[in-house]
Amino acid sequence: MTIGQTDYKHMLKAFRLSLNQKRLLFAICMFPSAHLYSYVKMFPDYDFSSGGLRSGLKKLTALNLVIQDEGGAWKIRNPGLQSWLFAIKQLQSQEEIEGLRFGPWE
């Protein structure tokens, strides 16, 4: 099922994710991995704990934001959301980020 245009920024606000859940979402966006505990070493500033990773993944999965692919790696479910989250971390231009903010939700 495809829903028309989605505002990813306001959609994420509506989900009321905790800071650690947002950090996990960005970590999965930047480096899809089958080994979530690798994020503890990759992102020491994020202060991930094993319980925090498990509970964060549980919420992100329940909200249908992340899925596990055939190889076992966790990734962002929606390609448009993936692009927008990646842009937030990588692009300097606010216009480029805003240009990716709206897209289909599949």
Single pTM value for the model: 0.81
Q: What is the mean pLDDT of residues 51-73?
A: 92
For 70-100, how does the pLDDT look when each residue is reduced to its tens digit (9 = 90+)?
A: 888 999 998 888 888 888 777 666 776 677 7
DSSP class of residue 66? E
Which pLDDT belongs to residue 105?
A: 65
Residue 8: in which H helix or E strand, if any?
helix 8-15
Secondary structure of residue 40 in the 3-state scheme: helix
Residue 104 counted as domain residue: no
> What distance separates the 2 farthest-apart alpha carbons in the chain?
38
Q: Domain range holding 37? A: 19-93
Residue 1 counted as domain residue: no
Residue 28 counted as domain residue: yes
Q: How would residue 106 be classed by pLDDT, with cut points 50, 70 and 90?
A: low
Which pLDDT belongs to residue 61?
A: 95
